[in-house]
Amino acid sequence: MAYNYLERDAARMSQYLIYLAPVSAVVALLFVVYYWRTVMKYEEGTEEIIEIAEAIRIGARAYIRRQYRTVAVFFLVMFVVLYVFVYFDYLSVFVPWAFISGAGFSGLAGFVGMSMATHANSRTTN
């Protein structure tokens, strides 16, 4: 008897859980925009600080580019491995694409985070 209630409640709850990820993503993006604007309102500082901050940004971009090139090879290999499992019906066709989209969005989050950190760097020294 109690099992039927749990099963019914789980089914009812699962229809709302599908909205949790997209709503959470939108809320997170709104926070990103808010904090980006908040940080960018402050002055960068003197000419010397601006010059140093730009050098740091260039170095950070070079680091991210190199790191992402290396990681992209791993992601590509894993995508192929996952697709082999799809070919032999061990996985759903959506799994490799979910992996690649997760990797892409993770990379985007890393890029935005690094960009935000390097822009905030000079503003905190001022």
Question: What single letter denotes the amino acid at residue 68?
Answer: Y
How many domains does the chain divide into?
2
15-47 confidence digits (pLDDT tens): 788 888 899 999 999 999 999 999 999 998 899
What sign does the CA torsion over 62, 63, 69, 75 have? negative
| Packing angle of the helix pair 20-40, 94-125 (nearest 10 deg) | 20
- Shared domain for 66 and 78, answered yes or no, is yes
Residue 16 has a pLDDT of 81
pTM to 2 decimal places = 0.76
- Shared domain for 33 and 49, answered yes or no, is no
Report whether 97 contacts 32 (CB < 8 A): no
pLDDT, mean over the chain: 90
55-79 confidence digits (pLDDT tens): 999 999 999 999 999 999 999 999 9
Residue 4 has a pLDDT of 65
- Shared domain for 52 and 89, answered yes or no, is yes
Domain with 57, as residue range(s), is: 45-126
